[in-house]
Chains A and B, each alone.
Chain A
Amino acid sequence: DAGVIQSPRHEVTEMGQEVTLRCKPISGHNSLFWYRQTMMRGLELLIYFNNNVPIDDSGMPEDRFSAKMPNASFSTLKIQPSEPRDSAVYFCASSLPGGPETQYFGPGTRLLVL
């Protein structure tokens, strides 16, 4: 079985550009989570969806960040405009119904904003 799929795996962009990160959750999982990982702040939950509906976006740092889940098999995290301080590893994770503790993480997208 394929795990959580994220693309791209690496992204280098210039400040001010729009960045779109993509995630395909594990089939049958109904919850999807976006995390950001940095050396300074560790692993932070940005937003999570349940049945394609955003439940808690309190971790989204600011209006430059937005996330969508148009269907059960696809989600995007967009940063517009990007800034150097957005450089981080962004993880997507998905979990089974009723089992948030069983979330599986994707391999991450390493973002560098110059």
Chain B
Amino acid sequence: GQQLNQSPQSMFIQEGEDVSMNCTSSSIFNTWLWYKQEPGEGPVLLIALYKAGELTSNGRLTAQFGITRKDSFLNISASIPSDVGIYFCAGLSGNQFYFGTGTSLTVIP
């Protein structure tokens, strides 16, 4: 099936720094989603984007639906230790979900 490419694959940052990650696809999606997965748990939805160009925030998180509909971006401002986890993007086309490869985030206190 389709695979969404996320970058970077992993990040090690200092507490307080901002984080940026992105997700690209060769296909167009109607909806972009961002999830966070903590160790031993299932992914939890952070932000859903429904329209090209849309910019949506959830606390310190901001995500954008790319104009081409083939990419999306997630930013985390002023990172804190509990931001640690793996962040996944997902694209929705019809009723089919395609998940990204994940970005592993480590925040150093």
A binding-site residues for B, Cβ under 8 Å: 4, 33, 42-45, 48, 50, 55-56, 58-59, 91, 93, 100-108
Contacts and interface: CB of A to CB of B under 8 A. Distances in A.
A91 B43 CA distance: 9
B97 interface: yes
B41 A42 contact: no
Contacts of B42: 4, 91, 93, 105-108
User: Contact residue range for chain B?
Assistant: 20 to 34
Interface of B: 1, 3, 31, 33, 40-45, 48, 88, 92, 95-102
10 contacts: A42-B102, A43-B88, A43-B102, A45-B96, A56-B96, A59-B1, A93-B42, A100-B92, A101-B48, A108-B40
Nearest to A108: B42
A100 B95 contact: yes
A107 B33 CA distance: 19
B96 to A, nearest CB: 7
SS of A interface (majority): strand
Contacts of B101: 42
Contacts, number: 51
Contacts of B48: 101-102
SS of B interface (majority): strand
Contacts of B1: 44-45, 58-59
Nearest to A89: B42
A107 B88 CA distance: 16
Contacts of B99: 42-45
Contacts of B97: 33, 45, 100, 103
Contacts of A107: 40-42
A104 B43 CA distance: 8
Contacts of A58: 1
Contacts of A55: 95
A56 B41 contact: no
Contacts of B95: 48, 50, 55-56, 100
Contact of A105 (B31, B44, B100): B44
A101 B33 contact: yes
